[in-house]
Amino acid sequence: MNFDRERLLSAAQEYGTPLYVYDTEIMKSQYERMTNAFYSVKKLKLNYACKANTNLNILKYFKSLGSGLDTVSIQEAMIGIKAGFEPNEIIYTPNGVSFEEIEMAVKLGLKINIDNISVLEHFGHEYPDYPVCVRINPHIMAGGNAKISVGHIDSKFGISIHQMPLVKRMVENTNMKINGIHMHTGSDILDIDVFLQGAEILFEVAKDFNALEYLDFGSGFKVPYYPNGDETDIEYLGERLGERFNQFQKAYKKELTLMFEPGKYLVSQAGFFLASVNVIKQTTSTVFAGVDSGFNHLQRPMFYGAHHEIVNISNPSGRNRYYTVVGYICETDTFGNNRKINEIKENDVLCFMNAGAYCFSMASNYNSRFRPAEVLWIDNEMHLIRRRENIEDLLASTVEISF
């Protein structure tokens, strides 16, 4: 992993803090690592799950690598089209949206994924000739925490594998075209057996649909959050799942595309969030380092209890001390509790690692703070890809009335 302290520091000086910096080299190496892992599969397609990071330029970068796009809202799909993706390179996997939104996806010509039996029936009556993919719920409990475990029996996602007889009857009755089977069981999954077990369930469902073009195994690959931390062994998964996929195609008697839709795996480690220390505050029990940011900009620690390594890039060889790093939001706003960090002084710049996925895309204007600027590192050059907001941006959609 590239961690260039000097360059990050110079980005903070040039663009100010708080600031997100993303490194395209890391995105590319993750993309290639994954495609290489599945070398045995003839037709492999990765679709970048852009909910992880929707900056238009990041979408354009993945397009340049040959990726497709995975979207969960019509707005993400519209950003994808603006980024240059053909509509049929965009998978649209909504959950709980209106039928009108699904009809917009039909008009745009997206690849549509349906995860609700009543919507499937409605779709079959209205658009019997528009091929769609069925998202199954495999009833597997997997994921780094409860909020990101989405393939279990109590989850709102997918159509239960036990409802496949009804799905098949509906398909026959409406003569609709099912071109794919999809599954996504959660995020942050380490255990390869979970992926393989899920794949067997998906194969079992897929064998009964005779016009498939692709199988989409979703995502959920774990990235390391600690130095030398655990991650999904993607090469081993590629060997095992690639082999099983090839066996399945042979039995199915048709060449299919194997799809994945990674978000975190492609961008998490490519992102660095930089914040400056406003205050050091010693209390009876703790030394707080308070930065010029908060959970409005990086929500994962407060929302999921997620761990982000915190490095003092202004003082890399300072002696180690323990700090609780907090934000400036007016409620508990802790980024890291009791962390060993090189000695911190006011105005030092702290770097939060793994800040490429679900960080800026979950940021808000809470406390009426501007959202940070974003910078992309391409071939040793920094490019500003989102300017810092200003007071006009904050008020842009407000409709003022007179009193």
Ligand X SMILES: Cc1ncc(COP(=O)(O)O)c(C=O)c1O
Catalytic residues: 330
Round the CA-based radius of gyration of the chain to a whole number and report it: 23
Q: How far apart are CA 159 and CA 354, in angstroms?
A: 33
Give yes or no for residue 52 binding ligand X (CB under 6 A). Answer: yes
Interface residue with ligand X, options 70, 121, 348, 374 (CB under 6 A): 70
Peptide linkage before 301 cis (omega within 30 of 0):
no
| CA 333/CA 346 separation, integer angstroms | 18
Q: Tell me whether residue 336 is annotated as binding.
A: no
**Shortest distance in whole angstroms from residue 336 CB to ligand X:** 22
The answer to whether 290 is a known ligand-binding residue is no
In whole angstroms, what is the distance from residue 352 CA to residue 20 CA? 9
Residue from 63, 111, 152, 184 touching ligand X (CB under 6 A): that is 184
Contact criterion met (CB below 8 Å) for 133 and 113: yes
Structure-token match 């204007």, residue found: 365
Distance of CA 231 to the CA centre of its chain: 16
Nearer to ligand X, 217 or 323 (CB): 217
Answer for the pair 247, 207: CB distance below 8 angstroms, yes or no.
Answer: no
Both ends of the chain: CA-CA distance in Å? 57
Nearer to ligand X, 70 or 121 (CB): 70
- Which residue number, 307 or 388, has a Cβ lying nearer to ligand X? 307
Is residue 187 part of the contact set for ligand X (CB under 6 A)? yes
- The answer to whether 309 contacts ligand X (rule: CB under 6 A) is no
Q: x/- contact string, 209-228, with ligand X (CB under 6 A)?
A: ---------xxxx-------
Question: Within positions 218 to 277, which residues make up the interface with ligand X, using CB under 6 A?
Answer: 218-221, 261-265
Q: Do the bridges between strand 373-378 and strand 19-23 make them parallel or antiparallel, or are there none, so unpaired? A: parallel
CB of 338 to ligand X, least distance (A): 28
CB 225 within 8 A of CB 307: yes
With CB atoms as reference, the residue minimizing the distance to ligand X is 263
Question: Does 158 show up as a binding residue in the annotation?
Answer: no
Annotated binding site for pyridoxal 5'-phosphate: 220, 358
Residues that bind ligand X (CB under 6 A): 49, 52, 70, 93, 184, 187, 218-221, 261-265, 357
